[in-house]
Amino acid sequence: MLLISVLSTLLSNAVNARRDISILYNRIAILILFYCILNDISSLNIVAKGIGIHGGLLLVNNITLIFHIFVYLVSALILVLTSFYPRKVWISQHSSLQSLLFNNFVYYNTKIINKMGEQYKLTEYPLIILFIVTGAIFLMSTNDLVSIFLAIELQSYGLYILSTIYRNSELSTTGGLMYFLLGGLSSCFILLGTGLLYANSGSTSLDSLYIITSISDINSVDLWYKPYYINLSLVIFTIGFLFKVSAAPFHFWSPDVYDAIPTVVTTFVAIVAKISIFILLLQLVYYTNSTFVGVRSPINGEMNWTFLLLMSSLFSLVIGTVVGLTQFRIKRLLAYSTISHVGFMLLALGISSVESTQAFLFYLTQYIISNVNVFFILIAIGYSLYCYTSENKEHEELLDKNNSPIQLISQLKGYFYINPLLALSFAITIFSFAGIPPLVGFFGKQMVLSAALDQGLIFLSLVAILTSVVGGIYYLGIIKEMFFSQPDYKINTVLENLTLKGYLANNKTVVSVGSAYANDTKLSFNYKNIVLSSPIAFVISTITLVILLFLFMNKEWLSMGAVLAQILFNY
């Protein structure tokens, strides 16, 4: 279904040169993704423990299907940002349910209310996202080294193109080129690891690799199997994926790329690309964690190849927290926050127990949801400040301000006094990142730390706790700017005294802008009636409520994580 939809969209793009219907393409992409969700939901009972496809190249089970649905849903939510205009007119006298259902509010000077950004002229945007989603779906379901490389490249090349799709933005082009060059380097590690695994195991099938690494006395067979070489291959193979999820010490590209590309694109690049890679790593770690490098470990005397994940977790926790304290640009700070959260997920992955797998699945889910919300709110803040000008000249002279309105933490100064509800939503999400109870982020960190302590990883648990506490400092710095400082914004002088005209028309009557009928209600409004569009407001409010009220609906989430962990360990 997804492949057919991608091809249909591609053909439609090829024969259509109109740029003004980009919103229509985005909405069609959302419908495609929701249809894929329904298709996967109907397959959950059929797949059961797993089904091999195309001679074992792909393996579909309940874990991959659940995260297929998750990727579709997250991608559809992100497409909402470019499927609807960011602002609308809200007049309380005409906001009844009857008016919303049976009347259409038409206004003149639409460019004043909805300034047309470049994202509303890119018909290729939803097509590229569908290609990336296709690569992510294949990557989560792959069961062969060759198909892994093809899937990761399909996903990665889509991300490179998406990062540079804003042709008129010098920063976007710079960030996308950096992403492409360093992403190509990580692909070299993956390709090298793939070649070494094939050379030392004699097969590209992951099933064969799982069998080799799980036979109890296989290490005694030295004639055809060298455990050290297999583990070295797995280490090199994994380094490439750690590079792509921006885990330390392979993280140095992500802050620069996140900060350079437009915020709408950052939302997709920072979120969707990580889901598929982490699910692949989850299955790889589980099936190959019985092989040893042959070096003594200070923890249990034997060093598993997954010890690399624990080392990367330690670096990610420390670097993501310490370097994040010095950041003054909001997207760079969120990039280092992501590195710190990746450290928690790698800690759960490296343990590889039933409890840690449940903690990993839950942490990944709640982190992705919170990250979607924080980027949505950042974009919404930029939309809401459209009517304002800053007295700070530095804010007005920022590069690429049309594509990334909020770039500095200082731009959030006093925003609580402009839009209290949006500021509260942002604070709730930030506190969830910091792990403040009773928000959903606290339970994610608590589950990971509990699983680590059960396995005797006391040092890593202490580091995780300390970095969480220290990381709260830069989160509180944002809250201080937003809630406890006076804003330096004032209404744009062009809009302050401007009275805009419109009319309330019957939906059954076909009217054209500028020619209202005599029976239509003529209206006047000003900048105070320009508010955030309903779809964006609905997404932000829904996710914020999920983060805030998780304590009252935790049974379903935790039960799903426990069931998926049991399926993996009892397969």
Lowest mean pLDDT among 194-208, 228-242, 330-344, 514-528: 514-528
Task: Give residue 59's pLDDT.
Answer: 82
Task: Give residue 344's pLDDT.
Answer: 95
460 or 10, which is more confident: 460
What average pLDDT does the structure give for the chain? 81
Average pLDDT rounded to a whole number, residues 100-126: 61
pLDDT of 509 strictly over 50: no
Percentage of the chain lying above the pLDDT 90 cut: 38
17 or 182, which is more confident: 182
Q: How far is CA 309 from the centre of its chain?
A: 21
In the 8-state DSSP scheme, what is residue 549?
Answer: S
Cis omega before residue 438 (within 30°)? Answer: yes
Question: Quick one: which H or E segment has residue 503?
Answer: strand 500-506
Task: Give residue 291's pLDDT.
Answer: 53
Cα angle value 478/259/442 (rounded, 5°)? 45
The torsion of the CA quartet 553, 133, 167, 253, rounded to 10 degrees, works out to 70
82 or 335, which is more confident: 335
| 3-state secondary structure at position 235 | helix
Lowest mean pLDDT among 8-22, 92-106, 159-173, 186-200: 92-106
Residue 227, number of CB atoms within 10 A of its CB: 19
Instruction: Answer for the pair 535, 82: CB distance below 8 angstroms, yes or no.
Output: no
Q: How many angstroms separate the CA atoms of 72 and 75, rounded?
A: 5
For residue 412, give both structure tokens: 């959030």
83 or 311, which is more confident: 311
Q: How many angstroms separate the CA atoms of 280 and 364, rounded?
A: 13
Instruction: Answer for the pair 160, 389: CB distance below 8 angstroms, yes or no.
Output: no
Q: How far is CA 276 from the centre of its chain?
A: 11
Task: Give residue 510's pLDDT.
Answer: 39
Instruction: Answer for the pair 125, 22: CB distance below 8 angstroms, yes or no.
Output: yes
Q: What are 391-411's pLDDT values in tens digits?
A: 777 877 788 777 888 889 989
216 or 202, which is more confident: 202
Instruction: Answer for the pair 123, 165: CB distance below 8 angstroms, yes or no.
Output: no
Q: How far is CA 500 from the centre of its chain?
A: 38
Task: Give residue 416's pLDDT.
Answer: 92
Question: Quick one: which H or E segment has residue 105?
Answer: strand 103-107
Lowest mean pLDDT among 197-206, 448-457, 502-511: 502-511
Q: Name the pTM for this structure.
A: 0.89
pLDDT level of residue 58 (50, 70, 90 thresholds): confident
Q: What are 348-388's pLDDT values in tens digits?
A: 998 888 888 889 999 999 999 999 999 999 999 988 887 77
Cα angle value 207/240/256 (rounded, 5°)? 150
List CB contacts of 457: < 8 A, sequence separation 6 or more. Answer: 299, 310, 347, 351
Average pLDDT rounded to a whole number, residues 321-329: 91
Q: How many angstroms separate the CA atoms of 7 and 456, rounded?
A: 51
Task: Give residue 476's pLDDT.
Answer: 92
pLDDT of 462 strictly over 90: yes
75 or 388, which is more confident: 75
139 or 531, which is more confident: 139
From residue 345, alpha-carbon distances to 236, 303, 311, 492 in Å are 20, 20, 12, 45
Q: What pairs with residue 58 in β-bridges?
A: 53, 142
Task: Give residue 437's pLDDT.
Answer: 87
Percentage of the chain lying above the pLDDT 70 cut: 78
540 or 490, which is more confident: 540
260 or 534, which is more confident: 260
Residue 508, number of CB atoms within 10 A of its CB: 8
45 or 528, which is more confident: 45
Average pLDDT rounded to a whole number, residues 516-542: 69
pLDDT of 191 strictly over 70: yes
Q: What pairs with residue 502 in β-bridges?
A: 107, 523
